């Protein structure tokens, strides 16, 4: 019987979840769920110098927002806890000493000053920096004396002197590294805490992790992990290294470079579901033409075989498209709820029916944060140039626009029951009687009542939202504006 698939997301609490972290967590979750397995959350906080206050809460919040639910973790417990590395700190030293006893690791008492000098010498000579194994030659008596004297020490892994180490990655195939290039990495630091690499291996083994998923930048570190597994005699997990996520210009997406985090994207007006859908496709192909997937659908179709080797470019234009698709698929009520916060401050007029505003915005919105700029004309007609009345496609001029507004004014004033249907029927009837195109009437009206070239709705829809009194007031202002322009031109 095959072992239960167990994956883990093991972030360090150093700040917000950036896009690469989110994709790693998502893929680990999907690998587990698509195989009926378990997804584990483990907090790796042994590097206290990089610890950021409140970052653990941000990890919980981000996973919760993304809909990625862990089966075991610090907050819900599990059979293999504790799930915070600093709470496991007493576990690691005995394992490191096991390796010392086996001859697979050794005590190192070198001072920081000596190690700094060694690095400087290597840099001056232009050779790759590696520890020179000064302490490997210490006798058992010398080691015991130093330990008895409480000299600070670290424990280093003893790498093979020759040969090579190979491992198979589920994405990149067989990777081979020459052992002579491997440095004797530190397993236990001078403060008694494990290094990231060592704690990872011990915890993954103890928590029965079957699949290790991480970025391709860790490919070169994997031989070190494998040598540790072999030294202990433990089963090696399946490695799944993920391609880099880059910007369109090929530069790496990086939290340090100020690139958007998951929460940044949400605050920028993107829907959670759209972000998750898009992130899933950054480096993974489902096959076929389907692009829109819910998280539950992804759980059913995800497979490691679909992960690509090539870097994936994070394209905001593509994310915008996904977000627009998700917005259009929402119910009118659902869109209105997510749009409402963006009306605050942009529409102060309490008489405006915001549901009508949502009705015209839903099909014309890709990013929620663009809503205020789309509706800012509702409260106050902006200053605008008469030139926007001129539209080649609509065949409008300043003169024809003025004529249309003057003709429309009494027709609109005569509507008793103001509604979209009544405005439409009245204006279309006027258009027919004047023998002009619809656009020659509707473009000037839309310009007069919005003052903008681009609006989320047409003249009739916007007139319905503004109401009779405000629509007529703005049309009168438009007539005056064009009349003044015509008078100025005539005088010139």
- Which tens digit of pLDDT belongs to each residue from 146-155? 999 999 999 9
What pLDDT score does 489 carry? 66
- CATH number (3.40.50.2300, 3.40.50.460, 3.30.365.10, 3.40.50.620) of 6-83+245-313 reads 3.40.50.620
CA–CA separation, 483 and 138 (whole Å): 98
CA–CA separation, 445 and 77 (whole Å): 64
Q: Give the distance from CA 28 to its chain's centroid.
A: 16
Q: Which two tokens stand for residue 39?
A: 């997804």
CA–CA separation, 147 and 79 (whole Å): 36
Where does residue 17 fall: left (phi above 0), alpha (psi -120 to 50 degrees), or beta otherwise?
Answer: beta
Query: Mean pLDDT of all residues in the chain?
Result: 94
To the query of whether residue 374 is one of the catalytic residues in this protein, the response is no
**Which residues lie below 8 Å from residue 311, measured CB to CB, with a gap of 6+?**
243, 244, 245, 246, 250
What pLDDT score does 256 carry? 61
Helix, strand or coil for residue 1? coil
Beta bridge partners of 175: 167
- Spatial contact of 7 and 210, defined as CB atoms under 8 Å apart: yes
Q: Residue 361 burial by CB count (10 A; 0-12/13-18/19+): exposed, middle or buried?
A: buried
What pLDDT score does 59 carry? 94
**Which residues lie below 8 Å from residue 328, measured CB to CB, with a gap of 6+?**
362, 363
CA–CA separation, 463 and 445 (whole Å): 9
| Residue 451 phi, psi (nearest 5) | 70, 20
Is the per-residue pLDDT at 490 higher than 70?
A: no
CA–CA separation, 191 and 318 (whole Å): 47
What pLDDT score does 2 carry? 66
Which of 97, 99, 75, 70 is closest to 87 using CA atoms?
Answer: 75
Q: 148 or 3: which carries more pLDDT confidence?
A: 148
Q: 250 or 82: which carries more pLDDT confidence?
A: 82
What pLDDT score does 475 carry? 98
Helix axes 354-361, 332-343, angle to 10 degrees: 110
User: If you average pLDDT over residues 259-287, what whole number do you get?
Assistant: 94
State yes or no: 437 annotated in a binding site.
no
Is the per-residue pLDDT at 273 higher than 80?
A: yes
Spot the catalytic one: 69, 255, 318, 403.
255
CATH fold match for the domains 6-83+245-313 and 86-242: yes
Pairing of strands 312-313, 245-246: parallel
What pLDDT score does 254 carry? 67
pLDDT-above-70 percentage for the chain? 97
**Which residues lie below 8 Å from residue 165, measured CB to CB, with a gap of 6+?**
176, 177, 179, 182, 223, 226, 227
At 169-178, the pLDDT tens digits run 999 999 999 9
CA–CA separation, 325 and 348 (whole Å): 29
| Domain extent listing, the chain | 6-83+245-313, 86-242, 330-375, 386-491
At 343-399, the pLDDT tens digits run 998 999 999 999 999 999 999 999 999 999 999 999 999 999 999 999 999 999 999
| Element of type H or E holding 169 | strand 164-169
Q: Residue 454 burial by CB count (10 A; 0-12/13-18/19+): exposed, middle or buried?
A: exposed
What pLDDT score does 228 carry? 97
Is the per-residue pLDDT at 1 higher than 60?
A: no
Is the per-residue pLDDT at 199 higher than 90?
A: yes
CA–CA separation, 34 and 298 (whole Å): 8
**In terms of residues, how long is the chain?**
492
Beta bridge partners of 178: 164
CA–CA separation, 342 and 338 (whole Å): 8
Q: Give the distance from CA 288 to its chain's centroid.
A: 24
The domain defined by 386-491 folds into Arc Repressor Mutant, subunit A (1.10.10)
Tell me the pTM: 0.89
- Spatial contact of 35 and 5, defined as CB atoms under 8 Å apart: yes
At 463-489, the pLDDT tens digits run 999 999 999 999 999 999 999 987 766
Q: Give the distance from CA 173 to its chain's centroid.
A: 28
At 77-113, the pLDDT tens digits run 999 999 999 899 999 999 999 999 999 999 999 999 9
pLDDT band for 255, please (50, 70, 90 cuts): low
Homologous superfamily assigned to 86-242: HUPs (3.40.50.620)
Q: Cis (ω within 30 of 0) for the bond into 13? A: no
pLDDT band for 250, please (50, 70, 90 cuts): confident
């Amino acid at each position: 019987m095959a072992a239960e698939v167990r994956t883990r997301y093991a972030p360090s609490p150093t700040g917000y979840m950036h896009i690469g972290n989110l994709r790693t967590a998502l893929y680990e979750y999907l690998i587990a769920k698509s195989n009926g397995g378990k997804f584990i959350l483990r907090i790796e906080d042994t590097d206290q110098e990089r610890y950021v206050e409140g970052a653990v809460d941000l990890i919980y919040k981000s996973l919760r927002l993304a809909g990625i639910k862990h089966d075991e973790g610090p907050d819900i417990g599990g059979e293999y806890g504790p799930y915070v590395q600093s709470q496991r700190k007493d576990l690691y030293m005995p394992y490191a000493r096991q390796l010392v006893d086996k001859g697979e690791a050794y005590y190192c008492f070198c001072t920081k000053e000596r190690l700094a000098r060694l690095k400087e010498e290597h840099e001056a000579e232009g050779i790759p920096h590696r520890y020179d194994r000064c302490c490997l030659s210490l006798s058992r008596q010398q080691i015991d004396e130093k330990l008895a004297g409480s000299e600070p020490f670290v424990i280093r892994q003893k790498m093979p002197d020759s040969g090579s180490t190979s491992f198979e990655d589920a994405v990149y195939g067989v990777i081979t590294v020459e052992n002579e290039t491997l440095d004797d990495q530190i397993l236990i630091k001078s403060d008694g805490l494990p290094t990231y690499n060592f704690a990872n291996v011990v915890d993954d083994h103890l928590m029965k992790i079957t699949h290790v998923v991480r970025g391709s930048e860790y490919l070169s570190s994997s031989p070190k992990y494998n040598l540790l597994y072999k030294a202990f005699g433990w089963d090696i997990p399946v490695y799944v290294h993920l391609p880099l996520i880059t910007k369109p210009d090929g530069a790496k997406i990086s939290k340090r470079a100020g690139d958007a985090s998951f929460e940044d994207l949400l605050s920028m007006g993107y829907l959670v579901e759209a972000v998750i859908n898009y992130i899933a496709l950054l480096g993974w192909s489902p096959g076929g033409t389907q692009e829109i997937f819910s998280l539950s659908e992804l759980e059913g179709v995800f497979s490691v075989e679909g992960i690509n080797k090539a870097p994936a470019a994070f394209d905001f234009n593509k994310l915008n498209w996904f977000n627009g698709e998700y917005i259009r698929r929402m119910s009118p009520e659902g869109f209105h709820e997510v749009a409402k916060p963006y009306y605050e401050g942009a529409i102060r007029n309490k008489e405006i029916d915001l549901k009508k505003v949502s009705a015209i915005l839903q099909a014309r919105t890709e990013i929620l944060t663009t809503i205020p700029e789309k509706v800012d004309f509702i409260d106050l007609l902006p200053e605008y140039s008469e030139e926007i009345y001129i539209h080649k496609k609509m065949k409008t001029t300043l003169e024809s626009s003025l004529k249309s507004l003057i003709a429309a004014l009494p027709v609109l004033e005569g509507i008793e029951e103001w509604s979209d249907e009544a405005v439409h029927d009245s204006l279309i009837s006027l258009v027919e009687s004047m023998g002009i195109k619809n656009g020659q009437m509707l473009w000037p009206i839309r310009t007069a009542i919005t003052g903008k070239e681009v609006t989320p709705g047409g003249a009739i829809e916007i007139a319905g939202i503004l109401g009779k009194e405000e629509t007529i007031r703005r049309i009168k202002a438009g007539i005056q504006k064009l009349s003044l322009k015509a008078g100025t031109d005539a005088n010139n």
